[in-house]
């Protein structure tokens, strides 16, 4: 983020130097400073959160984390990241398709089930 509130970084996916510079900026913001990155779909449609730089992405939006974080919040983020890293997106999509529901619905049900088990 620049002094005016945002910074535009443009790279050519066929230019290794530009890709390296854009990836370094991404890694600093997302990896070190815990900014959130979203890959925006064509036409500006709803994007998905990403954690790895994609040099072929048409557009990325990177937003700062919410203010008020603490060491406990950082630890919680790391815990959630660990859980998410253990998930297999292809398997989740397959299971959702198998049951004729969206991934969002499947994950909502998984979270509800886990909350019930934790509360028990």
3 state DSSP class of 111:
helix
How many other CB atoms are there within 10 angstroms of residue 30's CB atom?
Answer: 19
- Alpha-carbon distance of 107 to 112, in angstroms, equals 8
Q: Which two tokens stand for residue 99?
A: 């049951």
Paired with 50 in beta bridges are 37
Strands, E, within 1-120: which ranges? 36-40, 48-50, 59-63
Report CA 116 to chain centroid distance, whole Å.
Answer: 26
- Residue 25 banded pLDDT, cuts 50, 70, 90: very high
Q: What is the pTM of this model?
A: 0.53
* pLDDT score at 43: 65
What is the tens place of the pLDDT at every residue in 89-109? 888 888 889 999 988 888 888
Task: For the chain, give the percent of residues with pLDDT over 90.
Answer: 22
Task: Give the mean model confidence (pLDDT) for residues 57-69.
Answer: 77
């Amino acid at each position: 983020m620049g002094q005016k509130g945002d910074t535009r970084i443009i790279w050519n996916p066929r230019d290794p130097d530009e890709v390296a510079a854009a990836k370094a900026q991404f890694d600093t913001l997302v990896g070190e400073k815990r900014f959130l990155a979203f890959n925006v779909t064509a036409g500006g449609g709803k994007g998905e959160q990403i954690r790895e730089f994609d040099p072929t992405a048409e557009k990325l939006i990177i937003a700062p984390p919410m203010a008020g974080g603490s060491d406990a919040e950082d630890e919680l983020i790391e815990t959630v990241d660990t859980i998410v890293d253990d998930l297999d997106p292809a398997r989740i999509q397959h299971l959702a398709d198998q049951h004729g529901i969206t991934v969002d619905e499947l994950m909502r049900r998984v979270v509800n089930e886990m909350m019930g088990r934790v509360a028990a």
